[in-house]
Amino acid sequence: MRFTKMHGLGNDYIYVNCFDEKVENPAELARAVSNRHTGIGGDGLILVGPSQTAEVRMRIFNADGSEAEMCGNGIRCVAKYAYERRLCHVGGDFAVPGQQSFGASVNIETGNGILTLGLAIDEADKVQKVCVNMGQPVLRAKDIPVNLPGQEVVAQPIEVLGEQLAMTCVSMGNPHAVFFCDHVGLIDLAKVGPAVEHHELFPKRTNVHFVEIDLPTEFTMRTWERGSGITMACGTGACACAVASVLTGRQGRLCTAHLPGGDLELNWCEVDNCVYMTGPATEVFEGCWPNG
């Protein structure tokens, strides 16, 4: 089975072209290839295949084999992968309201519906940067889902490992719990992350983020991803953190997220209520895995 290793800000996945390859058991394959000691090494497996409703379809399997609805860093890499391998037809201009315009666009089917992406293509016909319209954030508790009463979950007290924390919840097609703190580097993420991920409030588990506000337009974050653990970056999580920053009155709608793997430009646009995320996509290497 041919594969390609790619990453978005260090959030790395193994990509398989399912136009050509057949994957019988993606959950088992995800666990095998993701292992950083005995496999290829990555945060999970992403399958790129035909779609009945978009140019291509992506399916995401975490390192533990569980299937995720959406991956912001992963979808940027899928756009680059599909464009450079001519797996898709490219559409016209993609514009971020009030910001820049991209000369090419592509539609990708995900577990969170069809998303549209703008491609920044260089003179060598390579995709260097991708902007994703991540859609409107989901804020109603039962739709995130989180088992709490009321509509929005903003600065909600929650007990984790004997401590009281203030939690804001957002779904960007997958669930996120956001916690603001003074110093993200002091958080024992390997301990707190899984405790929140598997908390009884989250029927589908959750991604976990700790956020430190740097400036009115910048924040630093660290992530524990559902099914993968500590990762270098989380695109949907960065979007969720940007929304949470606005909901708690900490920042405006246009900001930059600093992640361990690099930066993402974010815009929770007032015009259409959608979150736009812009960042790089990088191909690392190709290879052949002995089992499909």
User: Which regions of the chain does DSSP assign to beta strands (E)?
Assistant: 2-8, 11-17, 44-49, 56-62, 67-68, 94-95, 101-102, 104-110, 113-121, 127-133, 156-160, 163-171, 175-180, 207-215, 218-225, 229-231, 254-259, 262-268, 275-280, 282-288
**Residue 144 DSSP SS3:** coil
Spatial separation of the C-alpha atoms in residues 84 and 96, rounded to whole Å: 23
Whether the predicted pLDDT of 98 surpasses 80: no
Spatial separation of the C-alpha atoms in residues 214 and 77, rounded to whole Å: 28
Cis peptide before 175 (omega within 30 of 0): no
> What phi and psi values does residue 232 have, to the nearest 5 degrees?
-70, -25
Q: Which regions of the chain carry the CATH code 3.10.310.10?
A: 2-135+279-288, 141-277
What is the average pLDDT across 49-66?
A: 97
Spatial separation of the C-alpha atoms in residues 238 and 240, rounded to whole Å: 5
Query: Residue 29, class by beta-carbon neighbours within 10 Å (0-12 exposed, 13-18 middle, 19+ buried)?
Result: buried
| pLDDT tens digits, one per residue of 231-258 | 999 999 999 999 999 999 999 999 999 9
The pLDDT > 70 percentage for the chain reads 100
Spatial separation of the C-alpha atoms in residues 219 and 212, rounded to whole Å: 6
Which of the four pLDDT bands, split at 50, 70 and 90, describes residue 292?
low
CA dist 262 to 68, 91, 119, 225, 278, Å?
A: 23, 28, 19, 17, 12
- Record: fold of 141-277: Diaminopimelate Epimerase; Chain A, domain 1 (3.10.310)
- Give pLDDT, residue 291: 74
Q: How far apart are the first and last CA of the chain?
A: 5
- Record: fold of 2-135+279-288: Diaminopimelate Epimerase; Chain A, domain 1 (3.10.310)
Query: Which residues are identified as catalytic?
Result: 71, 234
